Amino acid sequence: MSLDRAARERLVRALAASMIEHAEELTSLDQAIGDGDHGLNMKRGFEAVLATLPGLADKSLPEMLKAIGMTLVMKVGGASGPLVGTFFMELGKALPEQPARADLVAATDKAINAVKTRGRSEAGQKTLLDVLVPVQAVFAGGGDARAIAAEAAQAADRTTPMLATRGRASFLGERSIGHMDPGSRSASLLISAAVAALEFEAIS
């Protein structure tokens, strides 16, 4: 996969647009079971990322991803800043400049493990890992853009009946059941935006 400058910028703009457009939805999900700032936090973070364009897209793909991660860590706040920021930073560290699909699979695997370590969490606790882990399985299994985006949306939906045992929602115990996890929703939106922007079928 070779992402030229235009494609890198398109990716950044698509990720940011997905968070900015869905900020209110994410915040309202977070008001149900968290502290009600997830949408605002993610929007602030990705607006800060946008502000680093056009220079951001001049960087190589790995350097660009690391820079996005660092901006998110510094600007998003909440627990999401370090978690989502770590994903991008580790993805950047693990990717070669012109990754083949296998490189991308290996790199996303490392990035997801870094998120697990950062959050001291595993899938099944009603967090963004409940999207990242199943989507990674589809990706590693050869799934195309449509399959990846579909799994991301379904995985976020599957967090609704889950009991939160990690993160702020875990304070609510059984009252966390019946609400979609906001971090899973934002992860799902970012994944869908990324695969759409990358014209993922072209990756081989």
Using the minimum distance from each CB to other proteins, give the nearer residue, 83 or 194.
83
CB of 50 closer than 8 Å to CB of 13: yes
Least distance from other proteins to the Cβ atom of residue 148, Å: 27
Using the minimum distance from each CB to other proteins, give the nearer residue, 74 or 100.
74
Q: How many CB atoms lie within 10 A of CB 74?
A: 12
CB of 70 closer than 8 Å to CB of 90: no
Using the minimum distance from each CB to other proteins, give the nearer residue, 8 or 44.
44
Using the minimum distance from each CB to other proteins, give the nearer residue, 39 or 143.
39
Least distance from other proteins to the Cβ atom of residue 29, Å: 16
Least distance from other proteins to the Cβ atom of residue 126, Å: 13
Least distance from other proteins to the Cβ atom of residue 78, Å: 4
Amino acid at 32: A
Using the minimum distance from each CB to other proteins, give the nearer residue, 122 or 199.
122
For binding to other proteins (CB under 8 A), which residues are involved? 35, 37, 40-41, 44, 73-75, 77-83, 85-86, 118-119, 167-168
CB of 93 closer than 8 Å to CB of 114: no
Q: How many CB atoms lie within 10 A of CB 151?
A: 22
Least distance from other proteins to the Cβ atom of residue 187, Å: 16
Could you give the 3-state DSSP secondary structure of residue 79? coil
Amino acid at 152: A
Residue 65 CA from chain centroid, whole number: 12
